[in-house]
Chain A
Amino acid sequence: MSRLRPSPSQTVGPFYHFSLTVKESLGSMTGAEAKGERIRVRFRLFDGAGAPVPDGMIELWQADAAGKYRHPADTQEKNPDPACCGFGRLATDADGACVFDTVRPGPTPDGRGGCQAAHISVTVFARGLLRQLMTRMYFEGDPALADDPVLKLVPAGRRGTLLARPDPAGTWCFDIRLQGTDETVFFEI
């Protein structure tokens, strides 16, 4: 059978809110019974001029506290936490920000016999982005960072762009810079 080519991507545009981000609940990614450490994560999105991007959209995907993905491709012998949906989606506000409540994910297999440090997969959409951007949020201070196979692929001087840092209130803060000084590392997947 001759192969088909994928449908090309186009921008999400500025007018998606009334359809894609109506449910504020998509910022609250776990039920009350979810196992693990509760965390709050604040994302901010900036353009190449350092201005906040007020019309972006952030999607998150993560494993539960035990490092299990709620997906059949995850064949680890443990049950996913039914109170951890793993998916979140919010629009950025006038400050380029959005806040998710979730649990800290556990470490996950890398598919090659090794282990990945705890991380959340982050997809960025916006007016002016003709394709979505993929990045990862890791946790500053995690001892497993040193052995993470994906971080090792990133030039050492840029790894810091993938680390969330806690503010005095304990909220993990992750700034995404689309362009310019301290540009966030994005991945081709």
Chain B
Amino acid sequence: MKIYPLPLEGDHPPLLHAPYAATVQRAPSMPPVPLPHTLSELTGPLYGHNPIGETDNDLTRQHAGDPLGERIIVAGRVLDEDGRPIPHTLVEVWQANASGRYFHSVDQHPAPLDPNFTGSGRTMTDENGNYRFVTIKPGAYPWRNHPNAWRPAHIHFSLFGPCLITRLVTQMYFPGDPLMPYDPISQSIRDDRARERLVSQFDRDLTVPEWALGYRWDIVLRGCEATPFEEPK
């Protein structure tokens, strides 16, 4: 039987992080009420709400032509806190194109859309928890949070895992991005080691010669098999 110990302080960002201006009026001011896990939380949507299409995990093959930009492979494993793979779970991704522009009417910054790139993908993990996407390295883009604000290149990820408790929406970053220290969204994770868990690693074995660079990123969802022990301070 899997149990779901609460995250530790520092595992996740706080809801209120004033440098990220949108949190100021959206973060609840009252502490959350602890909820013992009932069947309502120990279950969740498992079966995928849309069938997965053949090109859903290859964002470079969803249109008639090749998208512009640097072709990359992003792959890894979805694991629980014991390192056990989470098989057959839905992974959804979305991202800007190589110019840093989203396929979205609200994004009006002066960078071109790419008619051959939407930037939306989905896949299911295999029996060993593996996932793999082919895509284009997203560009950095400006936003209006503060003067001269730029988001580091990132890919949004959405995962369900086995139940409601394991639901995770997050962002994957790229190694060595010079914008990260100035980014209030990634810096909202105060613990350096926790923030590093969102940074993918260049992987030469995943790289396909003369075709695409590989980035490996493993995702850890809540949950373990054993009774939790006290973490050493």
Spell out A's residues near B (CB within 8 Å): 1, 3-20, 22-23, 26, 47-49, 51, 53, 55, 59, 61, 63, 69-74, 85-87, 89, 108-112, 116, 119, 121, 123, 125-134, 136, 149-150, 153-154, 178-180, 183-189
Interface string of B190-233 (1 = CB under 8 A from A): 00011101100000000000000000000111101000100100
Q: Are A19 and B120 touching (Cβ within 8 A)?
A: yes
Among B82, B103, B171, the residue within 8 A (CB) of A3 is B82
Interface size on B, residues (CB 8 A): 84
Evaluate whether A110 and B156 lie within 8 angstroms (CB atoms) in the complex, with A6-B220, A20-B94, A178-B28 already known.
no
Q: Which residues of B contact A53 (CB under 8 A)?
A: 26
Q: Which residues of A contact B197 (CB under 8 A)?
A: 5, 7-8
Q: Are A5 and B94 touching (Cβ within 8 A)?
A: no
Q: How far is the CB of A102 from chain B (nearest CB, A)?
A: 13
Q: Which residues of B contact A17 (CB under 8 A)?
A: 104
Evaluate whether A7 and B119 lie within 8 angstroms (CB atoms) in the complex, with A18-B104, A26-B49, A179-B29 already known.
no
A-B contact list, 6 entries, CB within 8 Å: A7-B168, A9-B168, A61-B43, A63-B40, A108-B38, A153-B34
B177 at the interface (CB under 8 A from A): no
Among B26, B37, B162, B195, the residue within 8 A (CB) of A8 is B195
Among A71, A121, A186, the residue within 8 A (CB) of B32 is A186
B7 at the interface (CB under 8 A from A): yes
- Chain A: CB-nearest residue to B84: A1
Q: Are A18 and B17 touching (Cβ within 8 A)?
A: no
Q: How far is the CB of A54 from chain B (nearest CB, A)?
A: 9
B93 at the interface (CB under 8 A from A): yes
Evaluate whether A123 and B220 lie within 8 angstroms (CB atoms) in the complex, with A3-B81, A12-B156 already known.
no
B6 at the interface (CB under 8 A from A): yes
Interface string of B1-12 (1 = CB under 8 A from A): 000101110011
Among B29, B36, B79, B103, the residue within 8 A (CB) of A18 is B103
A47 to B28, CA, bound (A): 9
Q: Which residues of A contact B164 (CB under 8 A)?
A: 61, 121, 123, 134, 189
Q: Are A130 and B106 touching (Cβ within 8 A)?
A: no
Q: Are A61 and B40 touching (Cβ within 8 A)?
A: yes
A186 to B194, CA, bound (A): 24
Q: Are B26 and A126 touching (Cβ within 8 A)?
A: yes
Q: Which residues of B contact A116 (CB under 8 A)?
A: 38-40
Evaluate whether A150 and B220 lie within 8 angstroms (CB atoms) in the complex, with A1-B83, A12-B169, A15-B102 already known.
no
B35 at the interface (CB under 8 A from A): yes
A1 to B198, CA, bound (A): 22
